[in-house]
Amino acid sequence: MAARNVAMREAIRRALREEMHRDENVFVMGEEVAYWQGTHRVTRGFLEEFGERRVRDTPISEMAIGGAAVGAAMAGLRPVAEFMTINFAFLALDAIANHAAKVRYFFDGMFKVPLVYRAASGWGNQATASHSHAPEPIFAHFPGLYVGCPSNSLDAYGMLKASIRDDNPVLFTESIALYPKPSPMPEDLDEDYLIPIGKGDIKREGSDVTLVAYARGVDWALQAARQLARDGVEAEVLDLRWLRPLDMELVYKSFKKTNRCVIVEESLPMYSFGGEVAANLQENMFDYMDAPIKRVAAEDVPLPYSKDIELLALPNAQKVVDAVKEIL
Amino acid sequence: MVYFPTDMESKTAVVDEGKVMASPSKEMLLDWYRQMVLIREFEETCHQLYEEKRITGVYLHLYSGHEASGVGSMAALRKTDHVITAYRDHGIALILGMDPKAVMAEMMGKKTGSSGGKGGSMHLASKDHNFWGGYAIVGGHLPLAAGIALEARYRDKDDVTMTYVGDGATNNGYFHESLNMSAIWDLPVIWIIENNGYGMGTEVERASGQIELHRKAEAYGIKSFGRVDAQNALDVYAVAAKAVEYARTNGPAVIEHVTYRYRGHGVSDKQYDARDDMSTELKEWMKTREPIKILRDCIESKYGDVGDILAKHRDDAQRIVAESVAFAEASALPSSYEDLLGNTYVASELVYKTDYSIGAGID
C-alpha cells in the first residue's frame, strides 16, 4: 500500500475534520480554536469550513469548558473540547474526574457522555515548570474515563476517530513534540479506520527485552532498540497507545518471550504508568521474570527553564539503553 | 444577627397580566399546594428515617422551607424544558413528577432506587422528566447546565434550562465561568440563586462581597430579574414566568430566591442546636414566612373554603410517602459485583473493520 509521510498534527486535523463532516453532532470548543485557527493549528481552517456554531471559541474558562462538554454530551451532542495544553486541564480536573467520568455511574447508566477532551501534552522547549508536563497518568486514575495517547500519525488518526465515535468520555493527549513529526499514512486510507480503544500495538519485534511505552516514549524506545540492535540485542517495542484501558495482555505476551522489561515514559516516575505496568507484571508474570523490571521516566523534579538541565530531566534513548544493559 | 431580608423586590416583581402569562388558575394553585405538602411530608419523613437509621450515610440535604422556590419557578416551564440542580434535590425531583417510591428507594440505597442505589440522596435524576440531576460538588453542575442549554441553541430549539444554585456556589469559579459562558453564547439558562442565607455554615455576608446576589448578573451582562420572596410561590411564579419567556428568545437570566432551610445544611448540621441566634431565626421564619401557609392563605382568600381539597392533598401526601417507605424498605440492596461494576462505561458498539496494527511499519 502506498504511504505518505504526514505530520501528526495534520493526521489529527484530518480525523477531526472528517468526523465533523460525518456527524453533525460533532463540534469543537476551546480557547482559540476558531479565529486564531487553533493554538497548535489542529483546527486550522475549521471556522471557515464549519462556521461559528460548530467551531466555538471559549473564554479562558477551563472549568466551564470541561463541564459544558459534559452537559452537551449528556444532551446528545458529541463535543470535542480542546484544552490548549494539559496543564490547563488541571483547572478542569473536577469537571473531568467528578463529572465526565462519573455521571454515567452515579445515575446508574441513565446518561451517556460521548465527549473527547483533546489536550496538548509534554515536556520541553524551555516551556518551564507549569507548562511542561506529561501528566496524563493522573487522568487515567479515574474509572469512567478513557485516556488515549498516540505516538504517531496513523495511530492518532484512528484513535481520535474511535474516541469521537465511542459513547464514553475520552481524554486524548497529543504530544507537542510529535505534532510536527512525520510518519507514514496509507494514501487510500479508509475514513472508518478506527483503532480499538484499549488495544496496544507492537511497534518493533524482538526477543531479548520488552520495552513498554506510550506516546513520545515510543520514540525513545525505538531509538534505543536500534542502538541495542547494533550490540546484538533485539528489543521488542510495545506501544500501549491507551493508558486506560491498559493493554496488559499485550505486555504479558511479549514478556513471556523476553522475560525482561523496561518501561519508558515521558511522565513523572511516582504513581506512574511505569509503576502500574510493573505492578501488573509482578503480580501476574512472576514465574516469567528473569530480572528486575526497570523504569525510565522523567526525573522527579519540576522542569527548569535553562536548556542543559531541562534536557537532563527528560528521558532519552541512552537512558533506555543503559536501563536495558543493567538487566541483560 | 437574624437573617431576614426586608429589602426584597417581591412587591414590584409583578407579572404583566396577559402579556407574559395569565395569573395561575385555581387548579394550578391547588396543584402547587399538593406538590408542596408532598415535598414537606417526604422531607420530614426522610429526616425521621435518618434519625432512626433507616436512611444511612452522611449526606441528606432537605428541601423543607424551600418548597415555594421550586414549585413556583418550575410552574413556568413546559415539558420540553430542562432542570438541573445541586444536592438539595429531592424537592426538585418530586415537583418534576419522579416516582416518590424510586426516590425513597434511592435514599435507602436500594436497587429499585432511581439511580439503582449508586447515587443516593444527592444524585437523583430522570431522563424521562428532563431532570439532569442533582450534583454533589458545589457549583459543579453549572457548566453542565450551560452545555445542556448549548444543545438547545445548537439545534435551534427554544427550550430553556432552569438551573438551581445555592448562595454559596455564587462565590466559586464554576459560577463565574458558567454565567460568563452563558452570556457570550446567549444560552437559554435561568440561573436561580436559592439564597437561604448560608453556604453550609457561613452567612452570605461573610462569604460574598456582593450580598445582593442577583446583582452578580451585571458583571456578565446578564439580565437580572431581581430578588424574589421565595416563600411566596405566587411571587416566585410571576418572576419565573417572565424570566423563562425572556430566556427562550434572548439568553440567560438570573433570579435570586430568598428562602430558608428548615433542616440546616444537611443532617450533619448541628448549628441550630448550638447557636441561639440561629434557632431563634429558624423559629421566626417558620412562624412568619412558612411557604405552605402563605400559599394556603392565598388560596383561601381567593377561593374561599377549599379545606376539603387541601386536606385530601395532605392525606394523599402521607399515604404516598408511607407507600414509598414501604416500597423502599421491601426492596433489595445491590450486593453483587455485577451491581457494583455495572454502568461504569457504555459497552462499545463500534465496528472495527480495519487492521488496527501498523506493526513495525513505524520504525
Asked if A24 and A51 touch (Cβ cutoff 8 Å), the reply is: no
3-state secondary structure string across B32-60: HHHHHHHHHHHHHHHHHHHHCCCCCCCCC
Measured CA to CA, the distance from residue B127 to residue A74 in angstroms comes to 10
pLDDT of residue B3: 57
pLDDT of residue B19: 44
Contact list in B for residue A142 (CB cut-off 8 A) is none
Q: Tell me which of 1.10.3720.10, 3.40.50.300, 3.40.50.970, 3.40.50.620 is the CATH number of domain A3-186.
A: 3.40.50.970
Active-site residue set of A: 62, 131
Nearest to A58 by CA among A69, A48, A49: A69
Angle, CA of A128, A129 and A133, to the nearest 5°: 105
How does residue B356 score in pLDDT terms, banded at 50, 70 and 90? low
Of B151, B181, B344, the CB nearest to A77: B151
The whole-number average pLDDT for the span B19-45 is 90
Chain A CB within 8 Å of residue B115 CB: yes
The 10s digit of each residue's pLDDT in A201-254 is 999 999 999 999 999 999 999 999 999 999 999 999 999 999 999 999 999 999
Q: pLDDT tens digits for B187-242?
A: 999 999 999 999 999 999 999 999 999 999 999 999 999 999 999 999 999 999 99
Q: What is the pLDDT of residue B12?
A: 37
With 0.90 as the threshold, say if the pTM is over it: yes
The predicted-structure confidence for B160-202, as pLDDT tens digits, reads as follows 999 999 999 999 999 999 999 999 999 999 999 999 999 999 9
Collect all residues of chain B within an 8 Å Cβ-Cβ radius of residue A157.
none
Question: B355 at the A interface (CB within 8 A)?
Answer: no
pLDDT per residue over A264-311, tens digit each? 999 999 999 999 999 999 999 999 999 999 999 999 999 999 999 999
Cell numbers at A93, concatenated = 480536573
pLDDT digits (tens, 9 = 90+) for B58-103: 999 999 999 999 999 999 999 999 999 999 999 999 999 999 999 9
Contacts of B100 (CB under 8 A, 6+ apart): B38, B42, B94, B320, B321, B323, B324
* Interchain proximity A70–B143, CB inside 8 Å: yes
Phi-psi region of A71 (alpha: psi -120 to 50; beta: other; left: phi over 0): alpha
Residues A85-115: pLDDT tens digits?
Answer: 999 999 999 999 999 999 999 999 999 999 9
pLDDT band at B10 (very low <50, low <70, confident <90, very high): very low
Contact with chain A for residue B345, Cβ under 8 A: yes
pLDDT in tens, A50-82: 999 999 999 999 999 999 999 999 999 999 999
pLDDT band for position B13 (cuts 50, 70, 90): very low
Best of A107, A160, A205, A207 to substitute, by most chain B Cβ atoms within 10 angstroms, is A107
Nine-digit cell at B19? 402579556
Domain chopping of chain B, boundaries: 9-332, 336-363
Instruction: Give residue-wise pLDDT tens across range A177-206.
Output: 999 999 999 998 999 999 999 999 999 999
Closest CA to B181 of A27, A93, A69: A69
What rounded mean pLDDT belongs to chain B? 92
Mean pLDDT of A140-156: 97
Q: Scanning every residue of chain B, which has its alpha carbon at the shortest distance from the alpha carbon of A102?
A: B344
Q: What is the pLDDT of residue B357?
A: 60
Look-up of cell digits 435514599: B107
Angle (CA) B301-B286-B7 rounded to 5° is 80
Residues on chain A touching B351 (C-beta within 8 angstroms): 192, 194
Show residues of chain B in contact with A194, CB under 8 Å: 350-354, 356
- The SS3 of residue A66 is helix
State residue A148's pLDDT score.
Answer: 98
Q: Give the confidence band of B358 by pLDDT, cuts at 50, 70, 90.
A: low
Strand partners, A204: A237
Host H or E run for residue A238 = strand A235-239
Q: How close B299 gets to chain A, by Cα (Å)?
A: 38
Interface contact flag, A58 B181, Cβ < 8 Å? yes
Q: If you classify domain B9-332 with CATH, what class do you get? A: alpha beta
Closest listed residue to residue B357, CA positions, set A166, A82, A152? A152
Q: Is B185 on the interface with A (CB under 8 A)?
A: yes
B151 close to A (CB below 8 A): yes
Find the mean pLDDT for residues A141-157.
97
With a cut of 70, say whether residue B362 has pLDDT above it: no
**Residue B269 forms contact with A (CB below 8 Å):** no
Kindly tell me if the per-residue pLDDT of B17 is higher than 60: no
pLDDT at B131 over 70: yes
CATH topology of domain A201-327: Rossmann fold (3.40.50)
